[in-house]
Amino acid sequence: MSTEKSLVVAYYKFVDLPDFEARKQPLLEVCERNGVKGTILLAHEGINSTMAGPEAGVEAVLDYLQNDPAIGALTVKRSWADECPFYRMKVRLKKEIVRLGLPEVNPNDQVGEYVPPEKWNELISDPDVILIDTRNDYEYEIGTFKGALDPNTKSFREFPEYVKKELADKKDKKVAMFCTGGIRCEKSTSYLLKEGFEKVYHLEGGILNYLEKVDPKESLWEGDCFVFDNRVAVDHSLQKGDYEMCRACRHALTEEETQSEKYVEGISCPHCFDTLTEEQRIRAAERQKQVEISKALGRKHIGATVLEREQWREMKLEERKKANEKRGEE
């Protein structure tokens, strides 16, 4: 068995890709040919991906993309894992590469001021700056910047509502925002500017770039950073953190939480135990049975990647919201 470490890369770019559908199959073939796994999202507005594999293979895929005149240079965040954190390669076609639900918000038109990691501490130490974590509640819970506000969102689509409720009277204030790799802030800052906010900033390259560039002794980051692959979270050195993931609700779990009587591997955890339906428990139990069979046979159970599960979570939340609205009308 190979002992070669796996190179993990995250990148995105907002760029006009009117032919994005035709790009799917050639890109998938390049990835498979080079032993690269993960998820790539393609949409008219651009590309978004986290993928991993042997260093030479990953770099070959990046070269393929960057040699495409329509895409060009990419800003890539690199880290390493002892083994590939993905089980398969998926290239998916989407309406948005990060789902805000407001197609009129286009980062190619305008975005907030980029702040490099080296200047971030100075900005967020200003008491007049409103610091907002644009990620979801389960991401905020395991790590964030000192003093950051939690919008308590279950999905990024809820962020505009948070802005309208909590920030509408603060349009003249300095607002600084951050997310994992920077992509959500491209849209969140664009949205705020469109809504009339005057001074909007965001962390260039996101949390991952900050953790890579800033000395831990000078860091204002507290905790670990949730990542969209099977490592679950990374620490300040971008090494795998001490978290497991609940396969039922996809929440990051501490070692203490895995000792809870409400934790049943693959079926439930303290975060979802009281909300799961009997049907969901049965499905989870069957899925866990398949995982255990695969382990016994020495195979990896092929499940959805974390990025795919995040998209699934947002889709289900949207379906639930529409169902509730329909019931309200009746």
179 is catalytic: yes
The alpha carbon of 212 is separated from its chain's Cα centroid by a whole number of angstroms, namely 17
Dihedral sign (CA 299, 301, 305, 306): negative
Token pair recorded at residue 123: 């900005």
**Are 234 and 207 a contacting pair, CB within 8 Å?**
no
The alpha carbon of 22 is separated from its chain's Cα centroid by a whole number of angstroms, namely 25
Residue with tokens 């009997």: 278
Nearest Cα to Cα of residue 94 among 194, 183, 154 = 183
For residue 308, what are the contacts with CB-CB under 8 A and spacing of at least 6? 39, 90, 92
Phi then psi for residue 22, to 5 deg, are: -70, -15
The alpha carbon of 270 is separated from its chain's Cα centroid by a whole number of angstroms, namely 23
End-to-end CA distance of the chain: 60
Annotated catalytic residue within 84, 179, 185, 269: 179
Helix, coil or strand: residue 26: helix
**Are 221 and 210 a contacting pair, CB within 8 Å?**
yes
Cα(155)–Cα(308) distance, integer angstroms: 14
User: What is the set of active-site residues?
Assistant: 179
